[in-house]
Amino acid sequence: MRKELNVYLLSLLLIFVACDLDQSDTSWSKHFHKLIENVKQLPTKKMAVAAAEDEYVLEAVKVAKEQGLAESILVGDEKKIRQLAQTLNMDLSGYEIINEVEPAKAALKAVKLVHDGKADMYMKGLISTKDFLRSVLDKDVGLRTGRVLTHVGVFEVKGIDQLLFLSDQAFIMYPTLEEKVKIIENALDIANACGLHNPKVAPLAAVEVVNPKMPETVDAAELTKMNHEGKIKGCIIDGPLSLDMAISKEACSHKKGLNRKITGDADILLFPDIHTGNVAYKMLVHTAHFLNAAILSGTSAPVILTSRSDSVATKVNSIALASVLADHLKKKTPRVAIVGAGPAGLTAAKELLKKGFKVDIYEKENFAGGVMAFGIPAFRIKYENVKKYIDPVIQLGGNFLYNQDLKESDFLELAKQYDYVYLAFGLTKVRTLGIPGDDVQGSLNALDFLRQFNFDDKLGLTHDRPKLHGTVIVVGAGNVAMDGARCAVRSGADKTIILYRRDRSEAPCTPSEMKDAEKDGVELKFLSNPVELIAKDGKLSEVKYEVMKLGELDESGRRKPVGTGVFETIKADYIISAIGQIPDKNVWNAGVIETDHGYIKGIKNYGEAFETSVHNIFTGGDIIKGAKTIGVATKCGKDFAKYVIEQTKKTK
């Protein structure tokens, strides 16, 4: 690590120190000059300053106002603010001043102005960084989003044709691969705000080749791969790269045969740790005197976190940078999290992605498609048809996050990170029979059985298909029951029987599914209700059922099955419960989102999209209405997407 750090410092010294520049001479500047001119064309932003009784901060605030970059609300010791203003010949008549002599309290008052929308950005004054950040992260009035916080330094270097965005040099000591992705995303927000729409990102290391003994190079290569695979979007990543190869075209010219996407023209420099980043940043500031700005990223509004040692020019540039970022964030398309990659979630994702939204899809399984993928056999729906739902989402840039077994507490955290959260994870449990002996060996549920059966046939995943024998009883007469019975036949059952407590005319499955099951050799036994499972040697041996008759109509419009008191038994080796899917009540571990027996309560409805009791957490599909068809699920997804699109148009 020490050796690599020394390589960094040597590289920096060789490149930068010889380019010493008098900061008072800015005639060469074009990028910051253009940035400031662009800010003047935007609606004027308002800045809240915490503990504003700082000479250099007040001077920067004065310049920002005079140049039309930002108006300011000064929160701090009013007496000291006015005293300093006199020395600066600063007219305070056009400023709102909120008196608070205690810096920490001043910070909370200032950040609340931004939190409440009364100001667009937040600046540090004469207050410790610790207390300032505490206000930023305050759970009630702060600017937390759930994203990692990173510090981005922006430098304009004489002789380099583009702005350089440096990160992270202040917060994350030894970032993991996942954290490096977040650092890049934060830097992209700022680069995009400055007009760069596909910036080049250089994950830095001491060398340009992967060395397993140098973890920085391994991470850099992985980030490059993730970018190539579309997992990191909106940029070009090429690493590992040494610093000279990242920013010096001359250095690249001396190395022939390079086949790199970045050849001295990197926009974003990703440091492998806080040490290299911090040293590089401070060396540039204190030796080379380049034009620069600094900003905190990962917050809901721009935060100007400059050092007391930073020049007034740096502070003014940082205010300009915060202004363009504030404008960018206001115009930025909302981020959407979708929980569940079934038909409702996939449809919503596709419709939103077509409109340019950023969509992350969280899925419990390690594949997409939901019940379409694992619950419906390939002989009924080919996986090619399931892919018609999945492929457009991939092609449009949807980000799938698999193996995400999320609970209610996770949904609430997502709501802090995203503008909208859509819960579309369906019904993941099957009703148990609820009769004596239903936990005996040989008692199965339909969803688990179908999932295991379909792993080989449909998903192409390595898994041992269930091997059945003897007599298999399937309880229920919906499409799931028919699928389960037909799969049992294909799994080796000698005889497969469906028991259903009503008659044929009232079976919930489609007529064609029933006919297909009978063609496969499935016996349908109606007006038969299981009441007990009988075991022998710990294994299922017989199923006792009651003969039923039909009585009066129930609330579903079907005739109610009534017991006759006549009981019969049938030998069985397995029994599969397919009497209906229900929610997993264990999901609701926080008690915040209103539910009813595990089903989500829709508080406001927008077609088939429903807002829950938590603002901006929406739901649709089976989890609110019970098991429905794929067509109904897709309608739910479309209605949610339509609502988000319409709301976005209203706010732009």
Reply yes or no on whether the pLDDT at 620 is more than 60: yes
What pLDDT does 283 receive? Answer: 80
What pLDDT does 25 receive? Answer: 60
Reply yes or no on whether the pLDDT at 167 is more than 90: yes
Which token pair is 586? 């264990």
Nearest to 533 by CA among 496, 501, 572, 506: 572
536 band by pLDDT with thresholds 50, 70 and 90 = very high
Residue range 515-544: mean pLDDT, rounded: 96
Q: Could you tell me how far CA 328 lies from the centroid of its own chain?
A: 20
Give the model confidence (pLDDT) of 317-341 as tens digits. Answer: 999 999 999 998 877 778 899 999 9
Residue range 612-622: mean pLDDT, rounded: 91
Give the chain's end-to-end CA distance (angstroms, integer): 48
Residue range 633-651: mean pLDDT, rounded: 86
488: left (phi over 0), alpha (psi -120 to 50) or beta: alpha
271 band by pLDDT with thresholds 50, 70 and 90 = very high
Please report, as a single letter, which amino acid is at residue 609: A
Contacts of 24 (CB under 8 A, 6+ apart): none
CB 451 within 8 A of CB 372: no
Question: DSSP label at 338?
Answer: E
Give the model confidence (pLDDT) of 186-239 as tens digits. Answer: 999 999 999 898 999 999 999 999 999 999 999 999 999 999 988 888 899 999
SS (H, E, C) 6-46: HHHHHHHHHHHHHHCCCCCCCCCCCHHHHHHHHHHCCCCEE
With a pLDDT cut of 70, the percent of the chain lying above it is 93
Residue range 412-427: mean pLDDT, rounded: 89
The Cα-based distances of 294 to 136, 152, 313, 314 in angstroms read 16, 6, 11, 8
Q: Could you tell me how far CA 12 lies from the centroid of its own chain?
A: 36
Rounded CA-CA distance 281/265 in Å is 19
CB 52 within 8 A of CB 96: no
Indicate the pairing of strand 335-339 with strand 358-362. parallel
Which token pair is 332? 């930025």
Rounded CA-CA distance 369/393 in Å is 11
Average pLDDT over the chain, rounded to whole?
89
Question: DSSP label at 403?
Answer: S
Nearest to 609 by CA among 647, 641, 648, 640: 640
Give the model confidence (pLDDT) of 627-638 as tens digits. Answer: 777 888 999 999
CB burial class (10 A; 0-12, 13-18, 19+) of residue 427?
A: buried
CB 539 within 8 A of CB 471: no
CB 259 within 8 A of CB 103: no
DSSP tally for the chain: helices H, then strands E: 21, 30
CB 642 within 8 A of CB 332: no
Question: DSSP label at 286?
Answer: I
Indicate the pairing of strand 581-582 with strand 429-430. antiparallel
Rounded CA-CA distance 208/106 in Å is 48
Reply yes or no on whether the pLDDT at 1 is more than 50: no
| Lateral strand order in the sheet of 70-76 | 96-99, 70-76, 45-50, 121-124, 303-304, 291-297, 150-156, 164-167, 268-270, 200-203, 236-237
List, in sequence order, every beta strand (DSSP E) within 226-323. 236-237, 268-270, 291-297, 303-304
With a pLDDT cut of 90, the percent of the chain lying above it is 63
Residue range 148-153: mean pLDDT, rounded: 92
What pLDDT does 309 receive? Answer: 80
Give the model confidence (pLDDT) of 46-57 as tens digits. Answer: 999 999 999 999
Residue range 580-584: mean pLDDT, rounded: 88
CB burial class (10 A; 0-12, 13-18, 19+) of residue 163?
A: buried
Give the model confidence (pLDDT) of 440-480 as tens digits. Answer: 999 999 988 998 888 655 555 545 678 899 999 999 999 89
User: At which residue do the structure tokens 């409440």 appear?
Assistant: 116
Question: DSSP label at 492?
Answer: T
Reply yes or no on whether the pLDDT at 377 is more than 80: yes
Phi, psi of 119 (to 5 degrees): -140, 155
Please report, as a single letter, which amino acid is at residue 303: V
What pLDDT does 608 receive? Answer: 86
Nearest to 7 by CA among 238, 248, 275: 275
What pLDDT does 317 receive? Answer: 95
Which token pair is 197? 């729409």
Helix-helix angle 78-87:55-66, to 10 degrees: 70
Rounded CA-CA distance 202/280 in Å is 15
Which token pair is 17? 């120190």
Residue range 422-442: mean pLDDT, rounded: 92
